[in-house]
């Protein structure tokens, strides 16, 4: 029974990974310091689950976490472009220093492969669409720089030390368990929750900016494929749906799903934002056998249903 380490496993994506791996019969170890992850995301995961509470910036902690591990799914990071603009130092310490700690410890521990969560933000000022992996990255935020640096470290550890790595560039992942409350919350959970609560919501800029919104189940499947696919060490893959919606379209569709009018206002454009993002996913399809299972509109319906259930439970318990 393979043992997987998920860094950041109490977070949104990490907890979905843990749940699916356990469902498939693997053993799962999670490393998380709960700075953004939540304990409730790990509730009821059963006997083949183990938690190490700690920080990837601690080399000793990371050494402990990788012992006897077969595969690492490295989700641990400080997310958010705005957060990185406000605090680039901490973003670098966690996302770059923490990744280097993990790669070095994984090499010494004989880990079979590290799958690294990168980001479409690395494309940055490169306005060409769709985004292909062979394009020159032009990051415009500290977060994007940190993610691109992690990719480079992964490739160096593959080429120089023989540690197998695969980097996955996520495109605007969304789904259940995303926190709508944080100042750095992603757009979809904030708007889904806000529309259901009849709150006034602010769209950054004119709302015509478009994204390749990617439901979390697709990202989970991509990670599991990337962990064991042959002949892909050192490679980088876009993980998305290969289709895009504008922010205005998503807000309108969420309101329709909620059965109510959205109270929307427009604010200034967000620093470090890019106008349009769309992935070419042909390499992931060819090399990983990746195929997105859930489209953006179906995923939005799943998110609204999840929030409706969550609010109903909270209402009954209050």
Q: Residue 73, SS3?
A: strand
Question: Residues 6 or more apart from 109 whose CB is under 8 A from it?
Answer: 63, 66, 67, 68, 69
Whether the Cβ atoms of residue 263 and residue 201 lie closer than 8 Å to each other: yes
The share of the chain scoring above pLDDT 90, in percent, equals 85
**pTM, entire model:** 0.95
Of the CA atoms within 13 Å of residue 4, those in its CB half-sphere come to 29
Whether the Cβ atoms of residue 268 and residue 203 lie closer than 8 Å to each other: no
**Among the listed residues 204, 88, 205, the one whose alpha carbon sits nearest the alpha carbon of residue 139:** 88
Question: Could you report the per-residue pLDDT of 265-303, keeping only the tens digit for each?
Answer: 989 987 767 788 899 999 999 999 999 999 999 999 999
pLDDT of residue 174: 95
| Catalytic-labelled residue, pool 71, 123, 143, 290 | 143
pLDDT of residue 181: 81
Q: What is the band of 105 on the pLDDT scale with cuts at 50, 70, 90?
A: very high
pLDDT of residue 143: 96
Question: DSSP per residue over 158-213, as a string?
Answer: HHHH---EEEEEE-SEE-TT--SSSTT--HHHHHHHHHHTT-EEEEETTS--EE--
- As a whole number, mean pLDDT of residues 90-106 equals 98
Domains and CATH numbers, the chain: 3-173+215-242 (3.40.50.720), 187-209+244-277+296-317 (3.90.25.10)
Question: Could you report the per-residue pLDDT of 23-70, keeping only the tens digit for each?
Answer: 999 999 999 999 999 999 999 898 899 999 999 999 999 999 999 999
Helices (H), the chain: 12-23, 59-66, 81-86, 88-92, 98-109, 142-161, 187-196, 216-228, 247-258, 282-288, 296-317
Q: Rounded to whole angstroms, how far apart are CA atoms 317 and 125?
A: 47
143 counts as catalytic: yes
Whether the Cβ atoms of residue 112 and residue 46 lie closer than 8 Å to each other: no
């Amino acid at each position: 029974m393979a043992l997987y380490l998920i860094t950041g496993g109490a977070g949104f994506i990490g907890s979905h990974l843990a749940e699916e791996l356990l469902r498939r019969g693997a053993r799962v170890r999670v490393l998380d310091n709960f700075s953004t992850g939540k304990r409730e995301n790990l509730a009821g995961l059963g006997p083949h689950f183990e938690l190490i509470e700690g920080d990837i910036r601690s080399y000793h902690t990371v050494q402990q976490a990788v012992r006897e591990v077969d595969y690492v799914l490295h989700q641990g990071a400080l997310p958010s472009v705005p957060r990185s603009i406000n605090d680039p130092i901490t973003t670098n310490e966690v996302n770059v220093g923490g990744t280097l700690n993990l790669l070095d410890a994984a090499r010494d521990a004989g880990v079979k492969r590290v799958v690294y969560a990168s980001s479409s933000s690395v494309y940055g000022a490169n306005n060409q669409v769709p985004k292909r992996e062979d394009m020159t990255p032009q990051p415009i935020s500290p977060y994007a720089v940190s993610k691109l640096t992690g990719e480079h470290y992964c490739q160096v550890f593959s080429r120089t030390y023989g540690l197998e790595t695969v980097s996955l560039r996520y495109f605007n992942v969304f789904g259940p368990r995303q926190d709508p409350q944080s100042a750095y919350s992603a757009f979809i959970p904030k708007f889904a929750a806000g529309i259901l609560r009849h709150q006034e919501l602010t769209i950054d800029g004119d709302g015509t900016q478009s994204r390749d919104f990617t439901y979390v189940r697709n990202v989970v499947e991509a990670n599991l494929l990337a962990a064991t696919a042959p002949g892909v060490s050192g490679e980088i893959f876009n993980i998305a749906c290969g289709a895009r919606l504008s922010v205005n379209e998503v807000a309108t569709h969420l309101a329709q799903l909620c059965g109510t009018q959205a109270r929307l206002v427009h604010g200034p454009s967000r620093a470090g934002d890019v106008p349009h993002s769309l992935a070419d996913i042909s390499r992931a399809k060819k090399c990983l056998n990746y195929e997105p299972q859930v489209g953006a509109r179906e995923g939005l319906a799943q998110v609204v249903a999840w929030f409706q259930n969550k609010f109903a439970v909270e209402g009954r318990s209050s």
